[in-house]
Amino acid sequence: MKRVLTTLLFVMLAGRLFVAAQDTVHKALIRDVASIEGIRENPVLGYGMIAGLKGTGDRQQTVFTTQTLANVLQHMGVQIPPGTVKVNNVAAVFVTATLPAFAMPGTRLDVTVSSVGDARSLEGGMLLLTPLYGADGKVYAAAQGPVTIGGYTAGNSGNSKQVNHPTVGRIPGGAMVERDSSLDLHSLPRLSLLLNEPDFVTAEEVAAAINRDLERQIATAVDSRRVDIDAAATGGKNLPALLARVESLMVEVRHRARVVVNERTGTVVMGKEVRLGAVSILHGNFSIEVATELAVSQPNPFSRGKTEVVPEQTVKTEETPARRIELSEGASVEQLVNGLQRIGATSRDVIAILQAIKAAGALQADLEVI
């Protein structure tokens, strides 16, 4: 048996203050960087049942499925004891959909069905009529239709094959909106644009672009995310036409420098605009190897000793010289990663070093760990 313990040593020495990185500016449409307050999608949810499965549905011990089936049959005028129902051809599911903005009665929605019980597959099933509720408890849509899945399962527990995920499926256009949830633009107290990423510079740029195009001061940046538009100052123009004109304007956008790391997978994603201060990095490995061998102690003939297994441990240590990386003022994260790869650092080493550089104050970017 052998156990290896590895210790990584990082020493960060930050140099002088780093200079500010140049802004990376690109142009984008307002509709791509902002949304209109109050105009959004809403999720809806329902609990239903899928019938017509070929023995791949919920099993008998799934109590709520038997109760649901008994209630459905009772609603149809059939009285049966819930304990006598076999449910391997049906499955209880949650039904989810997204209600778009300005949805009117008759609008079709795509729905997703997800198994709640222990069904093995929803292949070939039919979703029975299921009401879909909003967060306020009201019914906004009704779903029904054949389920399509992107996989299958075949065989039994001893010899089976499964492709993709057969217990989640979709019904394209399987729900119909029943309640009017459209928004009256004229009822809004004000028109406001909400930036996807808060930034004072971008907010001022959006307000300035609107005022230049409409040749009047109707847009004001309230904070780093909100830009208010005085619709009354446009002289009673059509609001949809006004918003269409505003959303098609081009503005300059400046994004914050950001480095995103995933410690679970060892992934590092960085922006090109990320810059580092003058920094020196020392990286070395110190490993301890513990090897255990089991030897047999055999007593001499005609002695009264016992044969025993004696463990023999060997401890070996190894320390490699620390390797050093020097980065000058304004170096990019790409240069850092390339330097670390040359000395044999793994992606997880890079993540630890980036966190240490951020703690030393030499990383001019937001470090986000997911």
* Report field, pTM of the whole predicted structure over 0.75: no
Distance of CA 367 to the CA centre of its chain: 17
pLDDT at 3: 42
pLDDT at 269: 79
pLDDT at 158: 57
Q: What is the pLDDT along the chain (370 residues), one digit of tens a residue?
A: 444 333 333 333 333 323 333 456 778 899 999 998 888 889 999 999 999 988 888 887 778 888 888 888 888 888 877 667 777 889 999 999 999 988 889 999 999 999 998 888 888 899 999 999 999 999 999 999 999 987 666 666 556 666 667 889 999 999 999 998 877 777 776 788 999 888 899 999 999 999 999 888 889 999 989 999 987 777 656 888 888 889 999 998 877 778 888 777 777 777 766 777 776 676 665 555 556 676 777 777 777 777 777 776 666 656 666 666 666 666 776 777 777 777 777 767 777 777 777 787 777 777 877 7
pLDDT at 48: 93
Domain positions in the chain are 2-22+259-369, 27-39+184-254, 42-177
